[in-house]
Structure 1
Amino acid sequence: MGNASSLLTQYDIEEVQEHCNHTFSQQEILSLYQRFCQLDRNGCGFVSGEEFLSVPEFAVTPLSQRLLRMIDGLNFKEFVAFLSAFSAHASLQQKVEFIFRVYDSDGNGKVSFNDMLEVLQDLTGPFISEVQREQVLTRVLEEAGYSKDSSLVQSDFLKILGSSDLKMEVEIPVD
């Protein structure tokens, strides 16, 4: 795929589809490629965190700093793989894997009470006190059969979120 200014070949498109488990159509991949090239202002073939912050919807999300750690320096194939969790065709497993990675900011494969508390802090900001966040999180964990001392792994997230109607989708405009 080389330089971001080069065109995608049919082989490139199929390779990207395979890499993201066919969650996007070929037309959607072409649209994503156009957007990627717009973000990659210096044409180096990678999108920096700063370039991602130029997208207003991304910049205002309360989890933007966590997401930046996941996306800084992505090439096009990685960019599409990152976005694939938001495809209407993504499986529950793919969506849960993404959510788990957001919570597991140190990448150790476990999410502690403090990890969850940090995400809750990002989401609620100053509107809820630290004590209230701890109480809410403790109650949610207990209702799911876990304690404050539990370290959750990805399969725990699947167990907890598997019964919910997880809506995590963005529409990719195609020409």
Structure 2
Amino acid sequence: MGNTSSMLTQYDIEEVQQHCNHTFSQQETVSLYQRFCQLDRNGCGFVPAEEFLSVPEFAVNPLSQRLLRMVDGLNFKEFVAFLSAFSPRAPLQHKIEFIFKVYDSDGNGKVTFSDMLDVLHDLTGQFVSEQQRKQVLTRVLEEAGYSKDSFLVLSDFVKILGNSDLKMEVEVPVD
């Protein structure tokens, strides 16, 4: 699997599926491999972040810059693991962990008011003022039992989102 010009073997497919807790079928894994090879233009086995910007859905995502930090230099197994959070078969816990990583951009295991404000800014752009974002975020945190001085950790995200009907899904086209 190191060189993307090589064929994907049954062993490779099973290894990737096991690594990703079978969130993708064999057909989906093969389709993802084909897409990975298209993104790995130089055939080195890794996809640089800027190649993801060639995917229109990725490029227009308001969180694309945050996501780019998460995808830079992924090999195929890591690529599928990244995308597995968007599988309809992914457990809610996996989706929440993914969302936490988006907010925890410095990877310190804590999400601050400022981190949340930055994500909210990315999502709303110039359509919502900074003051409005702060007010909304303060109110949401207070309703969840936190203050703007709180540091949220993964277990807080699980507590807040654990009973939600979280929809984070993309369809993997299969040939």
TM-score (norm 2): 0.99
Aligned equivalents of 2:64 and 2:170: distance in 1?
16
The reply to whether residue 33 of structure 1 matches residue 33 of structure 2 is yes
Aligned equivalents of 1:105 and 1:43: distance in 2?
29
How many residues of Structure 1 are paired with residues of Structure 2 in the alignment? 175
SS at 1:86 equivalent: coil
Unaligned 5+ residue runs, structure 1? none
Identity of aligned residues (%): 84
Aligned equivalents of 2:124 and 2:62: distance in 1?
8
Aligned equivalents of 1:129 and 1:157: distance in 2?
25
SS at 2:4 equivalent: coil
Cα deviation 1:29-86 (Å, max 9, x = unaligned): 0000000001111111111111100001100111000000000110000000000000
Cα deviation 1:139-166 (Å, max 9, x = unaligned): 0000111111110000110111112110
Matched ranges for 1:1-175 at <5 A:
1-175=1-175
Q: Which amino acid aligns with 2:145?
A: G
Aligned equivalents of 2:97 and 2:52: distance in 1?
21
Q: 4+ residue stretches of structure 1 with deviation over 4 A?
A: none
Q: Which amino acid aligns with 2:117?
A: L
TM-score (norm 1): 0.99
Aligned equivalents of 2:33 and 2:59: distance in 1?
20
